[in-house]
Amino acid sequence: MRHVPAGRDGEAPEPLTRRGDRPRILVTRSTVDDPRRDVMMSRVVEAAAHADLDVVLVRPDRWVLGRALPDNVTTTDWLPFPTVLPHVSGLVHHGGAGTLLTTLAAGVPQLVVPGAGDRTAHARLIAERGAGLAVPLDQLSADTLGALVGEPRLRSAAAEVAAEIAAMPAPAAVADDLVAVAS
């Protein structure tokens, strides 16, 4: 069954609805509220300062918002991912299933930072399929960000997975079958 992204409706900032002059990476974190510092975003900011690309932090925590950011790093609130993903070169995230599947359906290479629960398995599977990178937080660097947007094999594998997902039946097409199985 095809993944249908559950992105929020709404307008995206105009610059994110088109390709930029340089590769653009989105960085997003879990939607689960956590009062602790988001170390992943802080690490990406440090790496981005030495990378020739643009980084957009989606819903950064207060610690990231409270610091000076490099010129190539901007912030935004919620984004309708199905609208903006076609215009980015990569996505860095925590390994949550929704983000992972939405990014796969869009055919965008992703860098997944292994984490708790199923997130380590998600990172490993993305890397094994070749649709992205699994990079532990302490190894996230300007070079890994560059590899995310600069390795043609990642974009090719991500596009292959997107085509596989698009060829799957829509949820509505299999709903009756699922109900019958559940009965």
pTM: 0.91
> Which helix (DSSP H) or strand (DSSP E) does residue 147 occupy?
helix 142-150
For the segment(s) 14-182, the CATH number from 3.40.50.2000, 3.20.20.70, 3.40.50.1820, 3.40.50.720 is 3.40.50.2000
Q: In the beta sheet, which residues pair with residue 26? A: 56, 91
Better-scored residue on pLDDT, 43 or 177: 43
Tens digits of per-residue pLDDT, 130-172?
A: 999 999 999 999 999 999 999 999 999 999 999 999 999 988 8
Structure confidence by residue, pLDDT tens digits, 12-42: 888 888 888 999 999 998 665 655 567 889 9
Q: Which two tokens stand for residue 32?
A: 């689960």
Note whether 81 and 7 are within 8 A (CB): yes
Place of tokens 């992204």: 5
User: Which pLDDT score is estimated for 37?
Assistant: 60
> From the CA atom positions of the chain, what is the Rg in Å?
17
Over the stretch 69-96, which tens digit does the pLDDT of each residue have?
999 999 998 899 989 999 999 999 999 9
Domain locations along the chain: 14-182
Structure tokens given for 145: 């960000």
Q: Which two tokens stand for residue 20?
A: 């930029």
Q: What pLDDT is recorded for position 24? A: 98
The confidence score (pLDDT) of residue 66 equals 83
Query: Helices marked H in 72-141 — which ranges?
Result: 81-84, 97-106, 119-129
Give residue 13's pLDDT: 87
